[in-house]
Amino acid sequence: MTKIKVGVIGGAGYTAGELLRILIHHPAVEIVFVNSSSNAGNQIADIHGGLIGETDLVFTSELPFEEVDALFLCSAHGDSKKFMDNNSIPTSIKIIDLSTDYRAKSPNHSFVYGLPELNRDAIKLATRIANPGCFATAIQLALFPLAAAGLLTDEIHVNAITGSTGAGVKPSETSHFSWRNNNISIYKPFGHQHLEEIGQSLSQLQTGFNKAVNFIPVRGNFPRGIYVTAYTYCTLSLSEAKNLYKEFYKDAAFTFVTDKNPDMKQVVNTNKGIVYLEKHGDKLLIVSMIDNLLKGASGQAVQNMNLMFGLDEKMGLGLKAIGF
């Protein structure tokens, strides 16, 4: 097998660490370089301790574009666009950006929104992918079947709690252990940045969709995972709703509809999305959960790479939940 040669930009954060963990063991990938200006010369395993004994790779400040087939951008939000603007990247290189910079559709860029449950065919043909946000992925998986059936006819109410790794590797006032442990709080209620991409995708499936998505994000007191509860008016019976969801996700590689009330530990450390439904009066309750660093970031990025290069969508992503 001819291996895909990849480079990683911004290699020191949580997202990059998980990406490297997957790529090191991916049977069709060779990592050519991992760029980090602040860590150039350091062993990658010295920064990402979970990789001790698995790689001898060293961070570099160099950018040998001519040696790679694919490039993953794991830079901070806002920095990916700067990187693209400041570097002449050969058009033959396929790019997967994990920041927010190219998620919104625009005539100014050619990035395809990389959520396989929505855009699988377009991803296969794309050379530029905007990887979805973590909250956005989990919430969209909860709502896509209803949107595709034209059934989002009322406001949608969403509460979602995320692990502390979603705030990045650098400690802040709201992410360091002393504050986060044994504590929860809301932030950016009704105005989270992921709402734009959620609305964009729902409108793609349900033309004319203009209902409010009332989203309350919650900072959780655990490291990783996203647990979404959403509800909206729905005329379907529970049986009809389950059939709708199971039909919509029947060909999805990693999204599964379960009849049993699930626990978040069932998705942590995997690229899975799990969806569960209940009916309460005229409201449909949807529970959706993912690992924010995998299906919400690095795992989905590798899933997109597999699709772009014509590989088995699941290749390199046979990960087991850590809760059992």
pLDDT digits (tens, 9 = 90+) for 216-235: 999 999 989 999 999 999 99
Domain tally for the chain?
A: 2
Give 30-53 as a DSSP string.
EEEEEE-TTTTTSBHHHHSGGGTT
Average pLDDT over residues 292-310: 98
pLDDT of residue 167: 65
Average pLDDT over residues 127-133: 97
Told to judge if 134 belongs to the known catalytic residues of this protein, a careful annotator would answer yes
pLDDT of residue 37: 82
Cα pseudo-dihedral 21, 38, 129, 227, rounded to 10: 60
Q: Spell out where 54-207 has E strands.
A: 70-73, 94-97, 112-113, 128-130, 156-162, 185-186
Pair 112, 175 in one domain? no
Q: How confident is the model at residue 151 (pLDDT cuts 50, 70, 90)?
A: very high
pLDDT of residue 180: 78
Pair 140, 282 in one domain? yes
User: Position of tokens 């990887």?
Assistant: 131
Q: How confident is the model at residue 168 (pLDDT cuts 50, 70, 90)?
A: low
151 within some domain: yes
b (16+ CB within 10 A) / e for 197-236:
bbbbbbebbbeebeeebebebbbbbbebbbbbbbbbebeb
pLDDT of residue 13: 84
Helix axes 195-205 and 116-125, enclosed angle (nearest 10): 80
Question: How far is the C-alpha of 128 from the C-alpha of 9, rounded, in Å?
Answer: 15
191 within some domain: yes
Pair 304, 281 in one domain? no
321: exposed, middle or buried (Cβ count in 10 Å: 0-12, 13-18, 19+): middle
Pair 179, 37 in one domain? no
User: Under DSSP, is residue 124 helix (H, G, I), strand (E, B) or coil?
Assistant: helix
DSSP tag of 84 = H
Average pLDDT over residues 31-47: 91
pLDDT of residue 267: 97
* pTM of this structure: 0.94
Question: How far is the C-alpha of 79 from the C-alpha of 118, rounded, in Å?
Answer: 26
Pair 103, 182 in one domain? no
Retrieve residue 102's tokens: 């190219």
Pair 196, 57 in one domain? no
Q: Which residue out of 134, 139, 142, 226 is catalytically annotated? A: 134
Q: How confident is the model at residue 170 (pLDDT cuts 50, 70, 90)?
A: low
177 within some domain: yes
82 within some domain: yes
Average pLDDT over residues 62-79: 94
Q: How confident is the model at residue 181 (pLDDT cuts 50, 70, 90)?
A: confident
CATH number of domain containing 12: 3.40.50.720
User: Position of tokens 């040669």?
Assistant: 5
Pair 211, 266 in one domain? yes
Pair 145, 274 in one domain? yes
324 within some domain: no
Pair 227, 250 in one domain? yes
- Percent of all residues in the chain with a pLDDT value above 90, rounded to a whole number: 84
CATH number of domain containing 147: 3.30.360.10
Rg (CA), the chain: 19
CA angle 187, 268, 320 (to 5 degrees): 170
Pair 126, 150 in one domain? no
Q: Has residue 172 got a pLDDT over 80?
A: no
Domain limits for position 222? 134-290
317 within some domain: no
Pair 147, 281 in one domain? yes
- DSSP-derived pairing of the beta strands 283-290 and 273-280: antiparallel
Q: Has residue 171 got a pLDDT over 70?
A: no
Pair 201, 138 in one domain? yes
